[in-house]
Amino acid sequence: MTKHIKEKSAAAYLLSAPVIVAALGYFVDIYDLLLFGIVRIPSLTELGLDEAAVSIEGASILNWQMTGLLLGGILWGVLGDKKGRLSVLFGSIITYSLANFACGFVHDINIYKILRFIAGIGLAGELGAGITLVSESLPKRLRAIGTSLVAGVGLLGAIVGYFTVELFSWRNAYFIGGGMGILLLFLRIGVFESGMFHTMKEKSHVAKGNFLSFFTNRKRLILYLKCIGIGLPTWYIIGVLATFSNEFGKALGISEAIKPGLAVMWCYVGLSIGDLLSGVVSYWLESRIRTVTYMMAFTVVGALIYLYAGITTSTGLYAICVWMGFGIGYWAMFVTIGAEQFGTNVRATAATTIPNMVRGTVVLMTTLYTTLKPHVFELKAAGIVGLICFGIGFYCIRTIPETHHKDLDFIEED
């Protein structure tokens, strides 16, 4: 009888309003975040660009979007600690929904860049605020499972995004994304703010949302940088190997043209499954560090097969995308680790800026890849970038403090 009550109690926590609303919000967030990667070729081709220009301008627009994510992460993170987690969940979705509506009307490349930059700013707030709210609302024994549910459900947005583009035009896909965001606003009415935030808010002497505090304390800075480093392999897989899969397909001699949008979709199929399971594995192992280490190692094997095992069919390439996607399914775990490392007064800032700093590094990854490509060709260029990302990732996860049993009700002192 007691066991039954405990199980029911756990289910009640995991199906609570904060978890459901955060999951649906991340679903829309991922749909819109990955949409440009899916419509990159058809949208730019319709705007009159040739194949070479599509590659150059596509990378440029992606960089604008990722730069928006980087800046937006700071904006929404600070706001989340000063005004509350819910203010970010409302403000960010309004911003990226309106930007996506506007993308459906675009006819100029430069306007396209600006709109994806604005969309990037809006998209930056969703995951960090949602993970923070869920982490502070659930018992510590259920935090990993709860945040994994958020990410696992949310990442299905990439799959819906791909099929939306297959069924409708790329312009209508943007309109649908904007519409889903506006509808989500109504679902968020009635969701309550984190109790930890309310308690911290009443402490007037505590500095809240101070982004610079991560750089004024050596120990805190190292911890912050390690949190970012853990996430680098995730966006190496998505931002380089999946996004430029059409180029790798040609380099591998695959006769059938590879669709980057389909590669991204299959990557996110694996990612959704991995994210759902990572929370359970962390709960079972009672360790964030061991869970992420195992999944990162699994990803390395997949990346080596992708680049150097001599894949000869499109089916084989897409299958490895699922493999790599599953391996980087520690994404929610990585964001949760970032949230758990820091006090309530800067937790939203940490949880929002850390994943967006990682997304922002895609600019560096793609720049290094395109710079190396003319000299060592696609596969070796991607391998060099991957070596750097995985090297940093393994070092950071093996040297960061374990947070599985950590109590989150504390603040950071200057």
Total-model pTM: 0.80
Sign of the dihedral through C-alpha 372, 374, 375, 381: positive
Query: Is the pLDDT confidence value at 351 over 90?
Result: no
Query: Do residues 80 and 348 touch, judged by C-beta distance below 8 A?
Result: yes
Query: Do residues 132 and 88 touch, judged by C-beta distance below 8 A?
Result: no
pLDDT digit string, tens, across residues 48-74: 888 888 878 888 888 888 888 888 888
Q: For residues 198 and 84, give the distance between their C-alpha atoms in angstroms, rounded to a whole number.
A: 8
Least trusted range by pLDDT, from 189-198, 206-215, 235-244, 326-335: 189-198
Cα of first residue to Cα of last residue in the chain, in angstroms, is 48
Residue 112: pLDDT band with limits 50, 70, 90: very high
Q: For residues 188 and 254, give the distance between their C-alpha atoms in angstroms, rounded to a whole number.
A: 46
Contacts of 227 (CB under 8 A, 6+ apart): 334, 337, 338, 341, 350, 354, 396, 400
Q: For residues 270 and 392, give the distance between their C-alpha atoms in angstroms, rounded to a whole number.
A: 23
Q: For residues 313 and 255, give the distance between their C-alpha atoms in angstroms, rounded to a whole number.
A: 7
Q: Which tokens is 313 given?
A: 């069919």
327 burial class (0-12, 13-18, 19+ CB within 10 angstroms)? buried
Cα separation values, 261 from 100, 138, 161, 230, Å: 18, 35, 9, 25
Q: For residues 140 and 146, give the distance between their C-alpha atoms in angstroms, rounded to a whole number.
A: 10
Q: If we measure between CA atoms, which residue out of 283, 258, 37 comes closest to residue 165?
A: 37
Q: Which tokens is 204 given?
A: 């007037």
Query: Do residues 378 and 245 touch, judged by C-beta distance below 8 A?
Result: no
Cα separation values, 42 from 55, 110, 140, Å: 12, 17, 45
Interval 335-353 mean pLDDT: 87
pLDDT digit string, tens, across residues 364-381: 998 899 899 888 888 999
61 burial class (0-12, 13-18, 19+ CB within 10 angstroms)? buried
Query: Is the pLDDT confidence value at 31 over 60?
Result: yes
Scored b (16 or more CB within 10 A) or e, 150-179 reads: bbbbbbbbbbbbbebbeeeebbebbbbbbe
The position carrying tokens 């995308």 is 321
Domains of the chain plus CATH, in order, are 19-189+210-399 (1.20.1250.20)
Query: What pLDDT is stored for residue 37 in this prediction?
Result: 78
Phi and psi of 217, rounded to 5°?
-125, 120
Task: Count CA atoms closer than 13 A to 2's CA, side-chain side.
Answer: 0
In terms of average pLDDT, the best of 25-39, 312-326, 338-352 is: 312-326
List, in sequence order, the alpha helices (H) in 83-155.
85-103, 109-123, 126-137, 143-154
